[in-house]
Amino acid sequence: MTQDKKRIVIALGGNALQADSKDTTAKKQRETAKETAQPIVDLIEEGHEVILAHGNGPQVGQIIATYETAVEHDDSNQLMPFPECGAMSQGYIGYHLQQAVREEMVQRGVAKEIATVVTQVVVDENDPGFQNPTKPVGSFYSQEDAKKMEQELGFVMKEDAGRGYRRVVASPEPVDVVEAPVVSTLVDQGHVVITVGGGGIPVVDRGNGVLEGKPAVIDKDFASEKVAEILDADLLIILTAVEKVAINFGKPDQKELEQISVKEAYRYIEEGHFAPGSMLPKVKAALKFVESAPGRRTLITSLDKAKEGIAGKTGTTIG
């Protein structure tokens, strides 16, 4: 690959799949995916090797809620295990992205193929996240029903902001990506790959080739970072709703950042500038990739500014 062409892992933010939080239909997601495909194909057209990752929070929530409703109306039905729900979301989100990116490439005469790899991500069963599950999933329940689910199904249920009780699962850190060799082979052959959808399906390695799915949610930015490490990417792009990372966000002295050194990033984290569950995990994932090997950089920006960000014209670069 020439010096100006890069191997890039792109972590798509939620707005890249569902721009309207009130309209979560498959039809609307397909429409949004078509808009998302355009800046992605801009990068592919320039000759960059592109690997896509994405979240799945609303989508997997819909799948879980559908099965919960089915059981509520007919107790002869069975709840679908959480890992299988994650796999379903990887498939149908990947399908929408594949169609949109492929159509855009065909229209521009870009001779590449695109495929989704349903991806398993190894986690450590002793990860502290399993001791204190915090990630809410699925429907809201009364306290009585929540206690019943804890007793009968072994779920951990917690009250959610006065709206009722919800199941919570762990959010462990990724250790390895099972299908990374497959993804690497496809990328080496010039194909565009969608992988670690929703952070990947969390599994623990039981040995002798046996992998066991776990009810957990891996942060998609950390899973994207792990893929970028393994594939020896030049650049990790974490896409979000804002063009640049800011300190003193929402305050009169808010300042947008263009270039952050590793030392500065850690200082800003210590000073509490980045909100947990929002910008903080993105900055932490960015740092992890930058520190994994010399010469690696992370760009945090919005989807429509990705091309300009790579050119150094906007966005926040760490490293």
CB contact at 8 A, 90 and 56: yes
* Catalytic residue ranges: 14-15, 135, 220, 282
CB contact at 8 A, 285 and 299: no
Q: Is the pLDDT of residue 1 over 60?
A: no
Q: Helix/strand/coil (H, E, C) string of 219-249?
A: CHHHHHHHHHHHCCCCEEEEEECCCCCEECC
This prediction has a pTM of: 0.93
Q: How many other β-carbons are positioned within 10 Å of the β-carbon of residue 136? A: 18
Among 96, 117, 106, 88, residue whose Cα is nearest residue 28: 96
Per-residue pLDDT of 234-245, as tens digits, reads 999 999 989 999
Strands ordered across the beta sheet of 165-169: 135-141, 165-169, 156-159
Q: Is the pLDDT of residue 254 over 50?
A: yes
For residue 118, give the DSSP letter. Answer: -
Per-residue pLDDT, 17: 87
CA 156 distance to own-chain centroid: 24
Single-letter amino acid code for the residue at 306: A
Per-residue pLDDT of 130-175, as tens digits, reads 999 999 998 899 999 999 999 999 999 999 988 999 999 999 999 9
Per-residue pLDDT of 69-103, as tens digits, reads 888 887 777 889 999 999 999 999 999 999 999 99
CA 59 distance to own-chain centroid: 12
CB contact at 8 A, 204 and 170: no
C-alpha 262/C-alpha 294 separation (Å) is 12
Element (H, E) at 120: strand 120-123
Q: Helix/strand/coil (H, E, C) string of 275-295?
A: CCCCHHHHHHHHHHHHHHCCC
Q: Is the pLDDT of residue 4 over 90?
A: no
C-alpha 196/C-alpha 210 separation (Å) is 19
C-alpha 94/C-alpha 193 separation (Å) is 10
